[in-house]
Amino acid sequence: MVYGVESICRVLPIAPSTYYRHAQRLKQPELRAKRCVSDKCLLVQINTVWEDSLQVYGYRKVWHQLQREGVQVARCTVARLMRKHSIQGV
């Protein structure tokens, strides 16, 4: 590496500690935020319901199906994750 982290962070408005914290979280996933971990698990369930519906269900129907399966999650969370990952119904 030609340039060090500190010199790059000086050019970009980023503190070096931010870079090191990000690098540490990439190496050790257990240090990630609880929301990030729960979102990852929830996204798998959302994808399963969406695929089972032949990619027809929107966030409301996915949310209702998750409720029927016993997954306690807010409707806005399902909408946020589906929007973030470009999952949408017909």
pLDDT over 70 (residue 1): no
CA dihedral 31, 35, 38, 44 (to 10 degrees): -110
Summary mean pLDDT of the chain: 93
Is residue 20's pLDDT more than 70? yes
Q: Which residue's structure tokens are 């016993």?
A: 70
Q: Helix 59-68 crosses helix 75-84 at what angle (to 10 degrees)?
A: 130
Task: Give the separation between CA 79 and CA 74, rounded to whole angstroms.
Answer: 9
Q: What is the pTM of this model?
A: 0.74
pLDDT digits (tens, 9 = 90+) for 52-67: 999 999 999 999 999 9
The proportion of the chain whose per-residue pLDDT surpasses 70, expressed as a percent, equals 99
**pLDDT at residue 41 greater than cutoff 90:** yes
| Cα–Cα distance measured from residue 72 to residue 53, given in angstroms and rounded to the nearest whole number | 20
Task: Give the pair of three-digit tokens for residue 41.
Answer: 């698990």
For residue 90, the model assigns a pLDDT of 85
